């Protein structure tokens, strides 16, 4: 495969920067594949023309150029002749895309089966190139203290990405992940303090006032519970951990399936309700909830549709998240710079 180059242009890109950028682009060998990240807040016509002419010439010589715009689609709009002011648009290769879907030499489709560690380090390099400069001011501000708004308990499943489904950033969520998003009950056997240690720290040290339990479709832990644990009985640690799901199974057996709902989907949702109830078996936390100090929230991620549903605790049913929050109810939790 031809060599691949990664070029990042950052800041304001005008005619003043054209000579330097053009000189660096000319150093790239003909026929190479190039990932060009335009991390720019403004691009004038001279800058666009320089990049576009270089791209056309490079591709005529057998190379390939993939241009990602992280901020605003200055280049894309110039190519298409769109003269309207640029708005925020997703880059051609979204930052949240799985490794295998990215047009890079680090993708298995380009270079065969790479070790997972190579993909991981390639992702770190990409983070350093494109994302780290953008989040550095936020991380510096948060470096000495965190003030998360929400304790988020969810599954370890790789398809569940809390910061994506809540549109949150650094410092927003205090996250606990475990197999099946389970919460051991007070005095439960086998004893496990890891989840409640997180809850205790979140509430008593970080002063978090909202605890969310988020389940998801096609949960392997729930499938194992449905099968009676027979499929995982050789996994001793997992088998012991899933004992904390037995109340979810009991609740499942005592309810009726909703129309057109599979047993697994039903259990995945029932499990969220049960884990919220499990939190209330801890006396100190139950008191905080009953006094209104702590709010409990249940969420369910439907993987096939990527939709998130919220639990109505009064009815025990899940429904689409309501529309836009009224302006008067919004809170800006950012610290002024």
Using 50 as the pLDDT threshold, list the residues of the chain that sit under it.
85-91, 105-111, 325-337
What is the pLDDT, as a whole number, of residue 89? Answer: 40
What is the distance in angstroms between the CA of the first residue and the CA of the last residue of the chain?
47
Please give the Cα distance from 271 to 259 (Å, whole number). 18
Q: How many other C-beta atoms are found inside a 10 Å radius of the C-beta of residue 37?
A: 21
Is residue 8 located within the same domain as residue 128?
yes
> Which structural domain range is residue 313 located in?
145-329
What is the pLDDT, as a whole number, of residue 4? Answer: 84
Is residue 133 located within the same domain as residue 152?
no
In a domain, 319, yes or no: yes
Q: What is the pLDDT of residues 115-159, one digit of tens each?
A: 888 888 888 988 888 788 878 889 999 999 999 999 999 999 999
Kindly state the tokens that stand for 125. Answer: 């390099």
Identify the burial level of 168 via C-beta atoms within 10 angstroms of its C-beta, where 0-12 means exposed, 13-18 middle and 19 or more buried.
Answer: middle
Sign of CA dihedral 258, 162, 100, 179: negative
| Residue 322, phi then psi, degrees to nearest 5 | -55, 165
* 79 close to 47: Cβ distance less than 8 angstroms: no
Phi-psi region of 211 (alpha: psi -120 to 50; beta: other; left: phi over 0): beta
Cis peptide before 192 (omega within 30 of 0): no
* 309 close to 273: Cβ distance less than 8 angstroms: no
pTM: 0.70
Is residue 119 located within the same domain as residue 188?
no
Q: Which residue has the tokens 């009815």?
A: 315
How many domains does the structure of the chain reveal? 2
Q: Which residue has the tokens 């993909």?
A: 119
Is residue 120 located within the same domain as residue 26?
yes
Boundary residue ending a domain (90, 115, 140): 140
What is the pLDDT, as a whole number, of residue 134? Answer: 78
In a domain, 248, yes or no: yes
Query: In what helix (H) or strand (E) does residue 283 lie, and over which residues does it extend?
Result: helix 283-290
Please, which residues bridge with residue 6 across strands?
Answer: 35
* 147 close to 206: Cβ distance less than 8 angstroms: yes
Is residue 243 located within the same domain as residue 276?
yes
Radius of gyration from C-alpha coordinates of the chain: 25
In a domain, 221, yes or no: yes
Is residue 113 located within the same domain as residue 241?
no
Q: What is the pLDDT of residues 79-126, one digit of tens each?
A: 666 655 444 444 456 667 788 776 654 444 444 566 888 888 888 988
What is the pLDDT, as a whole number, of residue 113? Answer: 66
In a domain, 337, yes or no: no
Enzyme catalytic residues: 155, 157, 159, 216, 219
Kindly report the CATH number assigned to the domain that includes residue 24. 3.30.750.24
What is the pLDDT, as a whole number, of residue 309? Answer: 97
What is the pLDDT, as a whole number, of residue 328? Answer: 39
Is residue 279 located within the same domain as residue 222?
yes
Please give the Cα distance from 237 to 246 (Å, whole number). 16
Boundary residue ending a domain (140, 163, 198): 140
Is residue 65 located within the same domain as residue 191?
no
């Amino acid at each position: 495969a031809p060599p691949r180059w990664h070029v990042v242009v950052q800041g304001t890109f005008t005619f003043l920067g054209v000579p330097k950028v053009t000189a660096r682009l000319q150093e790239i060998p003909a026929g190479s594949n190039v990932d060009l990240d335009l991390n720019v807040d403004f691009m004038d016509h001279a800058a666009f023309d320089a990049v576009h002419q270089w791209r056309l010439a490079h591709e005529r010589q057998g190379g390939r150029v993939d241009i990602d715009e992280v901020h605003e689609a200055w280049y894309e709009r110039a190519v298409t002749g769109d003269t309207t002011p640029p708005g925020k648009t997703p880059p051609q290769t979204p930052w949240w895309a799985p490794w295998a879907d990215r047009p890079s030499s680090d993708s298995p489709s380009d270079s065969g089966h790479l070790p997972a560690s190579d993909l991981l380090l390639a992702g770190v390099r990409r983070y350093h190139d494109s994302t780290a400069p953008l989040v550095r001011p936020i991380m510096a501000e948060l470096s000495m203290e965190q003030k998360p708004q929400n304790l988020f308990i969810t599954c370890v499943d790789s398809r569940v990405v809390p910061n994506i489904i809540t549109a949150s950033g650094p410092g927003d969520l205090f996250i606990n992940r475990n197999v099946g998003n389970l919460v051991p009950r007070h005095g439960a056997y086998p004893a496990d303090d890891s989840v409640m240690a997180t809850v205790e720290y979140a509430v008593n040290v970080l002063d978090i006032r909202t605890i969310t339990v988020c389940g998801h479709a096609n949960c392997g832990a729930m499938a194992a519970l449905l099968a009676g644990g027979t499929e995982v009985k050789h996994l001793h640690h997992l088998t012991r951990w899933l004992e904390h799901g037995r109340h979810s199974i009991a609740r499942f057996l005592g309810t009726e399936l909703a129309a057109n709902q599979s047993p697994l989907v039903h259990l995945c949702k029932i499990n969220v309700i049960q884990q919220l109830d499990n939190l209330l078996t801890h006396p100190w936390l139950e008191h905080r909830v009953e006094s209104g100090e702590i709010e409990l929230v249940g969420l369910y991620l439907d993987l096939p549709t990527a939709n998130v549903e919220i639990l109505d605790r009064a009815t025990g049913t899940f429904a689409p998240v309501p529309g836009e929050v009224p302006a008067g109810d919004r809170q800006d939790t950012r610290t002024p710079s």
